[in-house]
Amino acid sequence: MSSTDSHLETLQWPGCAVEGYLVMIDQTMLPGEIKQIECRDVETVWEAIKMLRVRGAPAIGIAAAYGYVIGLQSADPHDDEAYFATASQTRDHLAASRPTAVNLFWALDRMHQLCLSLRGELTPSEITARMLDEARAIHLEDREMCRAIGKFGAELLGDEVQGVLTHCNAGGLATAEYGTALSVFFTAQDQGRSFHVFVDETRPLLQGARLTAWELLQRGIDATLICDSMAAQVMKEGKIQAVVTGADRIAANGDAANKIGTYSVAVLARAHGIPFYIAAPSSTFDLSLQSGDEIPIEERQAEEITHGFGRQTAPHGIQVYNPAFDVTPADLIEAIITEKGIIQPVHRNNIQHVLQVT
C-alpha cells in the first residue's frame, strides 16, 4: 500500500503473540469494496492464495510464511513426531496452492528448513514462536527490498520519460509495502518527478484496472487505463518512453514469467524502440532453472474467460485455453531492477554478479 494507506496493509499479523492470526485484504473485492479476511487456519490461507484473494509473488510468499506458523499452532507441542509431521504437511499443502510464483516455495522452504534445524535445540512451543519471528523477518525484508528496488529503478526513468506503461499489478497490494514495478513510480514521485502512467487492464481478471489503477489514484499519480490491445497504438503515438512490470519467476538466464500479456508488451516495446524493464526482488529468481522453458505455467479455469466476473461472454461449449502467465525472453528485457542493483544487460553472468551468487 501507499504511505497514505499504511493503516490498510495488505498483510498483517495483529499483535505479537504466537497465538495470533493472519489478516489480509481480499483483493478480489477491489476496487468496489475494501474487505479484510481473517485467516485462522491453513485451509483459509491456501484458499486465499489459490483464489487470488492475495496475489503477487512477494505477497504470496509472505502469506505462506504466516500460514506455516498457523499450521504449527495446531500441532501437538508434546509430541515431537506429530509436531514435525504437521510442519511438513503444512509446507506441502501450501506449496500446492499455485505453481508459478517462486516466492511461495522460497518462503516455505526457508521456514521449513529453519524449523527442522531447531529440532532438539528448542521445544516445539519455542520453535513456533521462533517461526513467527522468521515470518515477520520475511515480511520486513520484503518491505526493505521494495524500497531499494524503487530507488534503483527511479534512476532509469530520466527526464525524457514522460509516459510509462505497466501491466498487471506489482504495487503495495502484491508486496509488503511499495511494490516492485510501482515502487519505481512511487519513489520517482517522492523525488518530485512528474510523469504519466498508462495501465493495461490485464485480462482476464483485470488486475491492472481493479488494483493498479486504484493504487495509483490513491497516490495521486496521473494515470490512464487502457485495454491490453491498445498498448501498440499508445506506443505508436509516442506517449510511452518506458515499460516497467513485475515478475513471478526469473530463470538463471534472465527469462521472466509474469502475468499473461507481459510477453506481448515486451514484443511491442521492442518494435517501437522502447526499453522494457522488470522490477523484482532477488527472491523471485529461480537459479535452478536454466531458462524460461522450465518455468511451470499455471492454467486457470475456463470460467475466468467465458464468465468473467459472473457474466457469460462466450457461448456454451467453446474450448478455452487460459494460461495465467507467459515468459518474456531475456533478450527483450532492457534491465532487471533488483534490491541489490540493476542487471543490465540481462544475461547469466550479470545476474550472478549482481545477486552475488557464486
Residue pLDDT, tens place only, 99-137: 998 999 999 999 999 999 999 999 999 999 999 999 999
Tens digits of residue pLDDT in 244-273: 999 999 999 999 999 999 999 999 999 999
Ranges of residues in the chain with a pLDDT under 50 are 1-6
The boundaries of every CATH 1.20.120.420 domain in the chain are: 3-146
The boundaries of every CATH 3.40.50.10470 domain in the chain are: 148-354
Catalytic residue status for 248: yes
The residue whose grid cell reads 504495487 is 171
Report residue 300: phi and psi, to 5°.
-105, 175
Q: Which residues, other chains included, contact 104 with Cβ-Cβ below 8 Å and sequence gap of 6+?
A: 49, 57, 60, 61, 64, 94, 95, 97, 98
Pick among 3.40.1710.10, 1.10.599.10, 3.40.50.720, 3.40.50.10470: CATH of 148-354: 3.40.50.10470
pLDDT at 187: 97
Beta strands in the chain (DSSP E): 11-12, 22-25, 36-39, 163-166, 196-200, 223-226, 242-245, 249-251, 256-259, 276-279, 285-286, 325-328, 335-338, 341-343
pLDDT at 358: 74
pLDDT at 292: 98
Three-class secondary structure assignment of 247-296: CCEEECCCCEEEECCHHHHHHHHHHCCCCEEEECCHHHEECCCCCHHHCC
CA-CA distance, 223 to 181, in Å (whole number)?
A: 14
Q: Cis peptide leading into 329, omega within 30 of 0?
A: no
The residue whose grid cell reads 524502440 is 273
Task: Name the pairing type of β-strands 22-25 and 196-200.
Answer: unpaired
Q: Angle at the Cα of 116 (from 115 to 117), degrees rounded to 5?
A: 90
pTM confidence score: 0.92
Of residues 142, 200, 228, 248, which has the active-site annotation?
Answer: 248
Domain 3-146: top CATH class: mainly alpha
40 grid coordinates: 485462522
pLDDT at 192: 96
346 grid coordinates: 540481462
